[in-house]
Chain A
Amino acid sequence: MMLEMLQSPFMQRALLAALLVGITAPAVGIYLVQRRQALMGDGIGHVAMTGVGLGFLMSANPIWMATLVSVLGAVTMELIRTYGRTRGDIALAMLFYGGMAGGVLLIELSGTGTTANLTTYLFGSLSTVSDGDLVAILLLAAFVVLVSLGLRRQLFAVSQDEEFARVTGLPVRALNLLVAVTAAVTVSVAMRVVGLLLVSALMVVPVAAAQQLTRSFRATYALSVGIGVVVALAGTTTSYYQDVPPGATIVMLAIAAFIALTALAAPLARRRARAAEAATAEAACGTAPGNGRPPADDVKV
């Protein structure tokens, strides 16, 4: 039965696409989570809907149109974040909902697409991943991996502490824009499999799940990509046997992974806390090493 699934060409395409989504979404998401912009992927997903609509209207491949529009949207968001004054959140809201409304309007105008068609882009669909889509996904995923892995030290520094990074002489503005563009590209990569409305979950949830166990950025990166790949492949397989949208299945699996790792982490954290307590308990108050003050608090003013 498994073999039968692997032999069907549309499932081969779907699984390959799922694998690439599982790798790229957390690999970009980790930087968004690090800079506390976990919902940026969601915003880009909304904007990308206009791209899908444009694709239908102009009879172009929706993936490339979505990439184009979401890159523009992400760059605009980043510019609003950098230069925006107090009303930045309003501008972002306009961008999100304008993108969504634009997508629905354009797809209805196109005549070739319907809202039913749009649903496959919103929540993902296995049977619709074409050869052309797969080429687009492969190229875009290669770009994402190259950026996310190749510039991990620089992107870590910028996402960790932007002000400090600027004083080290790194081109912070360019790196910020690169993160925004890479996130937008990832949305297009994931669109076919997970769907635009659930893309953000696959960027954020595996990272959140991984950091229940990890102590370093490196381990969080590796584990979240691992979780991403497992849930993407498992979700795709599930949706082959049960007729459910892959995006929803993948996201539910990711959340299950988060819950499982959180439950697993609780006793681990307790053990670590106990070890730390044991270390400090040996040195009683006032005699702690490195704390050379006399036990008596003789106050002199």
Chain B
Amino acid sequence: MNTEQVISVQGARAVLGSRPVLRGVDLTVRRGEVVALLGANGSGKSTAVRSVIGQVPLTEGRIELFGTELRRFRRWQRLGYVPQRTTAASGVPATVREVVAAGRLARSRFGLPSRGDREAVRRAIGLVGLADRAGDSVSALSGGQHQRVLIARALASEPELLIMDEPMAGVDLASQEVLAGTLREQVAAGTSVLLVLHELGPLEPLIDRAVVLREGCVVHDGPPPEAVGQHALPGHDHVHPHAADEPLRTGLLT
């Protein structure tokens, strides 16, 4: 495998309020690698990715993107970011195309969008299987489709590195399949990926390495772990993801 590091985090410490959230995290993603960041709620996974993109300041430690120190990194078009959101909508109606086009600004910036820019936006919408909804208002979409819009927006700048925060949260099965397929194509084309996950789920076969956080510390960095909760069991069949969580029906209360 290529050893060029696209993300390098060393000894990252961060506090939110007065609470330490990261307590010396090391994290690397090499070119072409797919790394999953796992952990329970409050373990610091979201803070870790948000510090990588400069949204959370570190109190200590060092972050490099593509070998450039984060503070001096300017080539944001190389990076596609999918924030943790349940909606792509805002206070004013917007079409799928309009929202995805915002992602292309990483390349076009203040220039007028060229034909190439429009083509890239169209392609990104096609990649997540929403070509027939491009002119629809995002508020008319389902939860899973919202997530697909957010991913298309990240893909619009044709990035070399994708950073995704819980891309599968609240996504229906059909959309999970589409997303896994999209990601597979991106990875096959050489894109590196860092993604925060609650459970490995349908993305499991794509993942090269898993980093598990607990209370702001890395407790595992290596092959995807055998068990990080019920749903992360390898081979756990996701045909019916909630079956295992449902209480036994005794007949007394139902």
Residues of A within 8 A of B (CB): 30, 33-36, 38, 151, 153-154, 156-157, 159-161, 163-170, 207, 211, 214-220, 272, 276, 288, 290-294, 297-301
Partner of A299, one of B77, B157, B239: B239
Those of B53-87 within 8 Å (CB) of chain A: 53-55, 74-77, 79, 81, 83, 85
Residues of B within 8 A of A38 (CB): 91
What are 13 inter-chain pairs, A to B, with CB distance below 8 A? Answer: A33-B92, A35-B91, A151-B110, A153-B102, A161-B83, A166-B53, A168-B103, A215-B140, A216-B137, A217-B94, A217-B98, A297-B240, A299-B239
Partner of B83, one of A163, A216, A272: A163
Partner of B101, one of A153, A167, A288, A291: A153
Q: Which of B135, B136, B237, B239 has the most CB of A within 10 A?
A: B239
Those of B12-27 within 8 Å (CB) of chain A: none
B173 touches A291 (CB 8 A): yes
A170 touches B173 (CB 8 A): no
Residues of B within 8 A of A (CB): 53-55, 74-77, 79, 81, 83, 85, 90-95, 98-99, 101-103, 105-106, 109-110, 113, 129, 135-137, 140, 153, 157, 173-174, 177-178, 230, 233, 236-237, 239-240, 243-244
How many Å lie between the Cα of A217 and that of B101 in the bound state?
A: 12
Query: Contacts A216-B98, A217-B98, A218-B98: A299 and B54 contacting too (C-beta < 8 A)?
Result: no
A160 touches B102 (CB 8 A): yes
A290 nearest CB neighbor, chain B only? B174
Query: Contacts A164-B81, A301-B237, A301-B244: A34 and B102 contacting too (C-beta < 8 A)?
Result: no
Contacts beyond the supplied A35-B90, A156-B102, A168-B102: 8 A-B pairs with Cβ under 8 Å: A153-B102, A154-B105, A168-B76, A169-B109, A217-B94, A290-B178, A300-B237, A301-B237
Residues of B within 8 A of A301 (CB): 230, 233, 236-237, 243-244
B105 touches A293 (CB 8 A): no
A167 touches B79 (CB 8 A): yes
How many Å lie between the Cα of A294 and that of B173 in the bound state?
A: 12
How many Å lie between the Cα of A166 and that of B76 in the bound state?
A: 9
Q: Which of A34, A160, A168, A272 has the most CB of B within 10 A?
A: A168
B105 touches A170 (CB 8 A): yes
Query: Contacts A167-B53, A211-B93, A276-B140: A298 and B76 contacting too (C-beta < 8 A)?
Result: no
B113 → A minimal CB distance (Å): 7
How many Å lie between the Cα of A294 and that of B174 in the bound state?
A: 12
Q: Which of B55, B137, B157, B243 has the most CB of A within 10 A?
A: B137
Q: Which of A34, A161, A170, A219 has the most CB of B within 10 A?
A: A161
Query: Contacts A153-B102, A154-B105, A301-B237: A34 and B173 contacting too (C-beta < 8 A)?
Result: no
A161 touches B244 (CB 8 A): no
B110 touches A167 (CB 8 A): no
